Amino acid sequence: MHGVAMAAPRDLHSPTRLVPRSLALPGVDRPAWSGGSPWGLVWCCADLPHVPEQLLGTEPGELLVLQGAATLPSASVTADIVWAAREHGISHLFVLAHAGCRLLQHALRDESSARLMSGHVGRLGLFAGHDVDAVSRTVAHHSAGSLRRDLTRHGLVPAIVTAFADARGHVVDVSVDRGPEARAQLS
Ligand SMILES: [Zn+2]
């Protein structure tokens, strides 16, 4: 997995005690889930100080969690997400930025930080003149767009939800891209 940890679904629940709840995200429908294969994948940073499932209000096992270096795109991350989407039929991908990202803080301070980032991101100038939380949001949105193109090439069209977890563990700035088919239906 090239330095990216993929947490396996945790089978800690019984389907009989599942209570339908809304997600902690406005505008995001929560699929019916009976304790089987996860329906969503959260891609977030390794130093996120909160538990992703708690942030989103889901049961253990509902979501796969992929944690890496902020949400900086890479071929390895894309391959992991493509695998998860195919293996589990993932309908929702969450790209979750967070406040006070130590990895991005380090990258912004360090003149050699370009090595930490893909050349693509560096060329876009995503890190110029912004505070770390703005950079975190920008990276997540850029990565969501980049993933949309990559997943479409693989014939995968999950909803992609981009959001930002603040320091108190509230998920804000939620934007939902329901995918090319949904966009076509709306227009
Ligand atoms: Zn971080």
> In CATH, what number is assigned to the domain containing residue 182?
3.40.1050.10
| Residue 127 CA, ligand 1 centroid: distance in Å | 15
27 within a domain of the structure (yes/no)? no
What is the spatial distance between Cα 169 and Cα 166, in angstroms, rounded to a whole number?
5
- Is residue 29 one of the residues assigned to a domain? no
Please state, in angstroms and rounded to a whole number, the distance separating the CA atoms of residues 139 and 133.
10
What is the Å distance from ligand 1's center to 74 Cα? 16
Q: pTM score, two decimals? A: 0.81
106 C-alpha to ligand 1 centroid (Å): 10
Answer yes or no: is 14 within a domain. Answer: no
Span from the CA of 45 to the centroid of ligand 1 (angstroms): 5
Ligand 1 centroid from CA 153, angstroms = 28
Is 20 inside a domain boundary?
Answer: no
C-alpha distance from residue 34 to each of 11, 14, 27, 30, 71 (Å): 12, 9, 22, 12, 29
Which range of residues forms the domain containing residue 45? 36-186
Residue 24 in any domain: the answer is no
Number of domains in the chain: 1
pLDDT tens for the chain, residues 1 to 187:
444 556 555 444 444 445 555 676 778 888 888 888 999 999 999 999 999 999 999 999 999 999 998 999 889 999 999 999 999 999 999 999 999 999 888 777 655 555 555 555 665 566 665 688 988 998 999 999 999 999 999 999 999 999 999 999 999 999 999 887 666 665 5
Asked whether residue 28 is assigned to any structural domain, the reply reads no
The DSSP letter of residue 70 is: B
Assigned domain for 25 exists: no
